[in-house]
Amino acid sequence: MVSLFSSLDITVKNLKVGDYIINDEIVIERKTTQDFAQSIIDGRLFKQAKNMKKTYDLCLFIIEGTNLCNTSIDIHPHAVKGALSAFVKNSFIFCKACLASGLN
């Protein structure tokens, strides 16, 4: 597996937005389902998204977990679905595999 990435130029540094940057065009933000729900409540998610969109051509959220609507955070499932809908409408991409469960 390591040889698969041996030809990549990887730099580790603090970023102003996102968790990963690819070719200065793509920004990736990783969140757990807990953090995703909490960031909707405190407004951080929308600020992060706005800053990502200002700087990068393609914005991707990877949400780690199996059920976005069933966290220990007290948030209504409609709030989660509304946030996802708003982001998709504004050309954000979400990791499909992570979202398949819990949004029926």
pLDDT tens digits, residue range 8-43?
A: 788 888 999 999 999 889 999 988 888 988 999 999
Q: Is 32 inside any structural domain? A: yes
Pure H helices in 2-104: 33-41, 44-55, 77-89, 96-99
Q: Is residue 9 situated within a structural domain?
A: no
- Which domain covers residue 24, as residue numbers? 14-99
The answer to the question of residue 59 being in a domain is: yes
The reported pTM is: 0.75
Q: How many domains does the chain have?
A: 1
Amino acid at 9: D
In a domain, 89, yes or no: yes
Q: Note whether residue 1 is domain-resident.
A: no
- Rounded to an integer, the average pLDDT of 57-75 is 79
Residues 4-43 as b or e (16 or more Cβ within 10 Å = b): eeeeeeeeeeeeebbeebeeeeebbbebebebbbbbbeee
Domain containing 35 — which CATH number?
3.40.50.10130
- 72 domain residue, yes or no: yes
The reply to whether 4 falls in a domain is no
